[in-house]
Amino acid sequence: MSNEYYSAEEAMKVLKKPRSTFFKEVELGRIPFELEEGRQRGRLYPKRAIDALAKRQQVKHKDKGPSHLIFSPSSLADLWAEVQIGINLYGEDDIVPYDSLLEWRESNDEMFMSVKSKGRVVAYSSLMPLEENVLLPLLHDQIRERDIPVNAIRQWTDSRLSVYIATVTVKPTGNTTRDEYLGRYIIKHTIKWALSLHRQFDIKNWYGIGATKKGQHLFESLGFDEIVSLYDGERKGYFLSEVKKPIKLLSRFLENMENAEHSEESTRKSK
């Protein structure tokens, strides 16, 4: 590109935004652009404006202190850290190997998000658009996540998507209050991510597995229907298909979660 403009790919890197978020913010007018002469749909991203936005983002993060949590797309290094967290929590047999994650990421690099504090991964989540014929075997525990073939992964721009909520995980710190806060944080931001995807793309179904009581309660609170129950209810599979209903439920869930956080913060300040 010229000295005055970034390409879309360059602007994404400077702003550290995934493709789906970047173009959504362009359409909403949050990222400035100019139309390229002679091309009806060509867009140019002025360097001065993009650099100013990036600088402002850095200042905002810095002002919030070193403990500020950042929810952002997982880098290759983040994925490695996530694998280590998962192995420590669940054991190696239940974790997707790093080389498989790299292969998946080459197929679709917008499926993994992490939460970092002071540059270290403290929580992570994954939303995967998958072929429908892989999802029921997953829910019935006939295959595990590590068995998902790379050719079953779809692109967000495909039509009639089915999305698998693969994981929402927090690295335990031993501090119950801190861990609960991290849990709320990763859940809230993963829900916002899911809502953004739902608005942008043609998603028809959502699937998830509740392997703990907390996980099952979360899916049920969000309006998912239980369609599979295994091992005396210890593992349950969930499904959500209604288009308008989840938006209202998720929005209400986020509102309740934020109200709870504000209430806890007020209680701490009053002590």
Together in a domain, 147 and 229: yes
Indicate if 80 and 38 belong to the same structural domain. no
pLDDT in tens, 118-131: 889 999 999 999 99
Same domain, 110 and 191: yes
How confident is the model at residue 119, as a pLDDT?
87
- The backbone torsions φ and ψ at residue 15, rounded to the nearest 5 degrees and listed phi first, read -85, -10
The band of 94, judged by pLDDT with boundaries at 50, 70 and 90, is: confident
Residues spanned by the domain of 27: 5-63
Which helix (H) or strand (E) segment is 115 a member of?
strand 112-117
My answer on whether 59 and 73 are in the same domain is no
Residues 89 and 186 in one domain: yes
- Over residues 27-58, the pLDDT tens digits come to 888 899 988 765 556 788 999 999 999 988 87
Domain end position, chosen among 63, 95, 113: 63
Of 15, 48, 63, at which residue does a domain stop? 63
Instruction: Give yes or no: residues 48 and 73 share one domain.
Output: no
Which is it for the CA torsion 214, 219, 223, 228, positive or negative? negative
What domain count does the chain have?
2
Ramachandran assignment for 266, one of left (phi > 0), alpha (psi -120 to 50 degrees), beta (any other): alpha
Specify the DSSP element, H or E, that contains 209. Answer: strand 203-210
Check whether residue 196 and residue 253 sit in a common domain. yes
Structure confidence at residue 162 as a pLDDT band (50, 70, 90):
very high
- Please state whether beta strands 69-73 and 112-117 pair in parallel, antiparallel, or not at all (unpaired): antiparallel
| Interval 62-66 mean pLDDT | 46
CA Rg value for the chain = 20
**Which of 63, 81, 100 finishes a domain?**
63
One domain, residues 129 and 236: yes
Query: What mean pLDDT comes out for the span 214-222?
Result: 88
Do residues 18 and 59 share a domain? yes
Inter-axis angle of helices 176-200 and 19-27, to 10 degrees? Answer: 60
Q: 5-14, 144-153, 249-258: which range is least confident on average? A: 249-258
* Pair (24, 158) in one structural domain: no
103/232 same-domain check: yes
**Domain co-membership, 39 together with 148:** no
For 103-117, what is each residue's pLDDT tens digit? 999 999 999 999 999
